[in-house]
Amino acid sequence: MKKKKIAVVDRISDLPESLLCHILSFLPTKESVATSILSTRWKLLWTLVPKLDLDSDEITASELLRDDEYLRESEIKFAHVVSSVLAQQERGELRTFRLRWKFYWDGSHLDAWLRTVAARKVKELDLRIYTDGENLKLPPSFLSCTTLVVLKLSDTIALDIDTPSLSFNFPSLKKLLVASLMPSNSQEYSFLKLLSGCPVLEDLSLTTELFEREYKICVPTLKRLSIHDFHYDYDYELKINAPALEYLNFFGDLRDIKFYEKLNNLVRADVYIAILDSVPEEFRWKWVSNLFAALNNVKLLSFSPRGPVWNNFENIYPSSFQNLVQLVFVVNGQNWNVLPDLLQKAPNLETLFITTDYDIVKINSYRKEAQYNPDNLSSLTSFYFRDFFGDKDQVELVKYVLKEARVLKTATIEVSREELKESVLEKLSMFPRCSTTCLLRVE
């Protein structure tokens, strides 16, 4: 058995060096390093691997023990491992450097590590660093990396630049993810400088616990923008100048969002917005109207309105969505009246997908009943309703679609419980259908 194993290793070792490096790149870095015991040729082969993935949990198992002395020793050990690995990685270009690091005492190693990966012409840098309370500031050596194409900054990494004369310079950066952006005057200033140093940026993903005052996203080349905001405060203004935008994702509480250029290239938008009771009433309609005015060219729209104030909204869409062909709408006990007007403003809609938000479906006191207008849905060919359990609003919508969609080909109803299938199919089959070729399925 041992001879067979050695023979297999020898045959693999006969493969070209470039192919071996490609194979090793699919392994976690600690496994890639471990292959050095297989043969003399493999001893330094791992140092050519173009991908490094270093995780303090996997290497030191610091999550298993919480003793301070143990944590200090684990941190020293992990820092030594990273420094040793980078010191031996001196040949070839480094495609990806991923670092997951929990540190509690000394973060000074990061400067040297980033200088090393920059010298290796790194293309993708993924940093997720957890600290004991304080944010870790990025070192000056990081601020300029001409080869970087993808940059991901997560958790307690701060963008603050202490020296005003310093600036970011990422001439090749196309994708930027900034998570847990913390509020401060210097953070806002640094974020603007970061964006100004990315002349070819196409994909921006931003997660923040709190926006304050005013934020500007001015990126003429931007094609994808995702904003996730998890704080319950509305007092800020978000200004966006991204005329090339093709995809927009917004998840959080609605804010005062201003678009300075028409989004004529927008193809898809995923909008999950809540409006808090604390937002003054005079602002609510204006903010919603401004947002949808910017989205009027969209082709694929996913919309999930949350919060009791939606029950008071009518005619929130300032113009028609002539290009809209697919709509995903998340219904609950508070937003049914928002759907009919949207259907009326989408004359070329081909696919309608309805799903139910179970978290707040029962909160339906003082709501208005949805009023559907005839002569809509003239282009609808596919209708899908997920999590159907047969309440009045759901039944009325299905009845309306079957009656008005004259070119409908399929209507698929996915029930929330298996035992409902037979009764739901029997009830819905009795509704009149405008389309003689419509296939009704209950799953």
pLDDT at 6 over 80: no
- pLDDT bucket at 8, cuts 50 / 70 / 90: very low
For residues 64-97, one letter each, b for 16 or more C-beta atoms within 10 angstroms of the residue's C-beta and e for the rest, the string is eeeeeeebeebbeebbebbeebbeebeeeebbbb
Mean pLDDT across the stretch 269-281?
83
Quote the pLDDT of residue 65.
40
Enumerate long-range contacts of 225-231, CB under 8 Å, 24 or more apart. 225/249, 226/250, 226/251, 227/251, 227/252, 228/252, 229/253, 229/255
Mean pLDDT of the chain: 77
Does the structure show a pLDDT above 90 at 329? yes
Is 291 among the domain residues?
no
- 20 located within any domain: yes
pLDDT higher than threshold 60 for residue 24: no
Residue 226 has pLDDT above 90, yes or no: yes
Average pLDDT over residues 217-233: 84
Q: Is the pLDDT of residue 353 over 90?
A: yes
Position 23 in a domain: yes
Confidence check: pLDDT of 223 > 90:
yes
pLDDT in tens, 95-128: 888 888 876 656 677 888 888 888 888 999 998 8
Residue 84 resides in a domain? no
357, 359, 363, 369 alpha-carbon torsion, rounded to 10°: 0
Judge contact between 341 and 372, C-beta under 8 A. Answer: no
Dump pLDDT digits (tens) for 280-305.
Answer: 777 888 888 888 889 989 999 999 98
- Residue 250 forms part of a structural domain: no
Task: Give 410's contacts (C-beta < 8 A, 6+ positions apart).
Answer: 381, 382, 383, 438, 439, 441
Domain that holds residue 372: 301-443
Query: Does residue 397 form part of some domain?
Result: yes
More confident residue, 267 or 127: 267
Classify residue 322: in a domain, yes or no.
yes
Please count the other Cβ atoms lying within 10 Å of the Cβ belonging to residue 146. 11
Tokens of 434: 């405008």
Average pLDDT of the segment spanning 418-443: 88
pLDDT: is 383 or 312 the higher one?
383
175-211, pLDDT tens digit by residue? 999 886 655 555 667 778 888 899 999 999 988 765 5
**Of 261 and 155, more confident:** 261
Local confidence band at 7 (pLDDT 50, 70, 90 cut-offs):
very low
What is the count of structural domains for the chain? 2
User: Could you tell me which residue, 75 or 315, shows the higher pLDDT?
Assistant: 315
Predicted pLDDT of residue 206: 87
Report the distance separating Cα 89 and Cα 53, nearest Å: 13
Give 351 or 20, the one with higher predicted confidence: 351
Q: DSSP code of 42?
A: T
The pLDDT assigned to 55 comes to 78
Name the phi and psi angles at 329, rounded to 5: -125, 125
CA dist list (Å): 367 to 25, 179, 281, 313, 392: 56, 37, 17, 11, 13
Q: Quote the pLDDT of residue 1.
A: 45
pLDDT digits (tens, 9 = 90+) for 63-89: 334 444 445 566 667 777 777 777 776
pLDDT given for residue 242 in this prediction: 94
Q: Residue 411 pLDDT > 60, yes or no?
A: yes
User: What is the mean pLDDT of the segment spanning 342-348?
Assistant: 92
Decide which of 208 and 350 is more confident: 350
pLDDT at 319: 79
